[in-house]
């Protein structure tokens, strides 16, 4: 059966208070005529399909989001297009017999975000309805010969035993549902859960942790597994961003740096086909690519046709920073002055950075065929890399040769010199030519 998805932006969720949801805070004023135009455009570009899923931030059956006449217009369009099955989403309070009868002749499936079969947890996550409310809605749906699709969130906060809670919730939902989706809970950037994550009060499951937990349900034909419902990166709202300029422990282990490093170690996947890791220094200017040093480095890299094989990752007090994230907070918003480093801070920098490199490479060892760096031999970043390589037993190559370094180390801005950049070019020529 062919399937199409319609992402509908149609106003704010009527409840908008769930602890884990950031979509509820999204408010887009959309008039009736605008919605109808959106439907017309979607259906105009629609090839023959038998299955249509509609996703939005809230409830399709909430008439403040999708007015009655617009809903009926949508239903009639589905009939005209010969669509056999439609999946929509709604909170229980908007589900009525009258609304569902409008869909007669269409195989209608309604997704309800139950999240967990526990009234106490539902209250703590501020879901806004109870199991009885869910059961009432399910009863209406089935009496109208429609189907129930139940969403369950795996790894909610406040749950003491995640595995038992999941088993209880699946057992409960199977009694009422035609299909179930087990969703890996990830922190939406506009949600209260995101703030809990930053405070260290909750953490997401890695892909492996999630799949291990739901493995026992994977063969059930009524159950679907969804490891990532949206592209997850730690996207900080403006009001949560801080001034990260300074030198010291606080600016090595700041929570905003730590959650990013955890993300890079447990969730992030390096870009495919970039199988050569090149570790580079950070720079005072942000993003790094705007600095003189990085402009010169990038100029060298782009001389090679297959330079895209190289995955550029900066090493700094903020941790490891893949080039593709260099212009995101906090990586574009910190300032670490090397002149203010004490002996103790240098030692901590090396310890923490070595641990971060070790965890990153342990997580992504299958992604890289070779590990290179272009770092000063006297830098804390190079010393940390050396420690991590000894611990893990991997080999790496510094493209800045020791001979060149010894010859030019008394100069300022070593990595910007012609001699150092020649080493970079010649070293890459041997590695990727």
Any domain includes 86: yes
Number of structural domains (the chain) is 2
Residue 218: which CATH number? 3.20.20.70
For the segment 222-251, the average pLDDT, to the nearest whole number, is 95
16 and 40, same domain (yes or no): yes
Residue 413: which CATH number? 3.40.50.10630
**C-alpha span between 334 and 328 (Å, rounded):** 11
58 and 190, same domain (yes or no): yes
CA-to-CA dists, residue 398 to 41, 123, 147, 345, 419, angstroms: 55, 55, 61, 24, 14
For the segment 3-25, the average pLDDT, to the nearest whole number, is 87
208 and 267, same domain (yes or no): no
93 and 204, same domain (yes or no): yes
**Domain residue limits at 113:** 3-226
112 and 251, same domain (yes or no): no
Residue 25 pLDDT > 70, yes or no? no
Any domain includes 39: yes
Any domain includes 265: yes
Any domain includes 244: yes
206 and 276, same domain (yes or no): no
The pTM for the full model equals 0.93
Encoded tokens for 105: 């002749």
262 and 158, same domain (yes or no): no
Any domain includes 233: no
209 and 246, same domain (yes or no): no
Element (H, E) at 56: strand 51-56
117 and 9, same domain (yes or no): yes
139 and 49, same domain (yes or no): yes
Any domain includes 137: yes
**pLDDT the model gives residue 24:** 66
Encoded tokens for 23: 């979509």
Chain segment 366-407, per-residue pLDDT in tens = 999 999 999 999 999 999 999 999 999 999 999 999 999 999
Residue 241 pLDDT > 80, yes or no? yes
Where residue 27 falls among pLDDT bands split at 50, 70, 90?
A: low
User: Where a domain ends, among 206, 226, 246?
Assistant: 226
Scored b (16 or more CB within 10 A) or e, 359-385 reads bbbebbeebbebbbbbbbeebbbbbbb
250 and 374, same domain (yes or no): yes
């Amino acid at each position: 059966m062919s399937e199409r998805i319609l992402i509908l932006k149609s106003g704010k969720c009527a409840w908008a208070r769930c602890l884990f949801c950031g979509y509820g805070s999204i408010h887009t004023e959309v008039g009736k005529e605008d919605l109808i135009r959106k439907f017309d455009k979607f259906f105009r570009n629609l090839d023959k399909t038998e299955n249509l899923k509609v996703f939005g931030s809230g409830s399709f059956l909430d008439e403040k989001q999708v007015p009655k006449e617009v809903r009926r217009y949508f239903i009639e369009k589905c009939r005209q297009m010969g669509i056999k099955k439609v999946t929509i989403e709604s909170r229980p309070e908007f589900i009525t017999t009258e609304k569902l009868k409008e869909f007669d002749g269409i195989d209608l499936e309604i997704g309800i975000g139950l999240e967990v079969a526990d009234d106490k947890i539902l209250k703590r996550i501020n879901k806004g309805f109870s199991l009885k409310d869910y059961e009432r809605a399910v009863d209406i749906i089935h009496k109208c010969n429609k189907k129930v699709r139940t969403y369950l969130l795996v790894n909610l906060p406040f749950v003491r035993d995640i595995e038992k809670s999941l088993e209880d919730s699946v057992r409960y939902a199977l009694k009422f549902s035609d299909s179930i989706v087990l969703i890996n809970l990830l922190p939406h950037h506009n949600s209260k859960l995101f703030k809990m994550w930053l405070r260290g009060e909750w953490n997401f499951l890695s892909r492996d942790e999630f799949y291990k937990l739901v493995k026992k349900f994977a063969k059930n034909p009524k159950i679907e597994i969804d490891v990532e419902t949206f592209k997850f990166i730690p996207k900080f709202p403006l009001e949560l961003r801080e001034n990260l300029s300074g030198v010291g422990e606080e600016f090595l282990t700041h929570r905003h740096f730590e959650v990013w490093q955890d993300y890079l170690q447990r969730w992030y996947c390096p870009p495919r086909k970039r199988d050569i890791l090149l570790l580079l220094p950070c720079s005072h200017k942000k993003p790094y690519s705007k600095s003189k040093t990085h402009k010169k480095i990038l100029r060298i890299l782009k001389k090679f046709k297959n330079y895209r094989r190289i995955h550029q990752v900066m090493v700094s007090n903020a941790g490891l920073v893949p080039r593709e994230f260099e212009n995101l907070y906090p990586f574009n918003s910190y300032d670490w002055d090397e002149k203010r480093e004490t002996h103790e801070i240098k030692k901590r920098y090396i310890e923490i950075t070595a641990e971060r490199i070790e965890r990153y490479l342990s997580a992504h060892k299958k992604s890289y065929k070779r590990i290179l760096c272009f770092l000063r031999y006297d830098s804390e970043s190079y010393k940390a890399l050396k420690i991590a390589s000894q611990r893990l037993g991997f080999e790496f190559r510094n493209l800045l040769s020791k001979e060149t370094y010894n010859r030019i180390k008394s100069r300022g801005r070593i990595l910007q010199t012609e001699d150092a950049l020649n080493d970079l070019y010649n070293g890459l020529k041997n590695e990727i030519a």
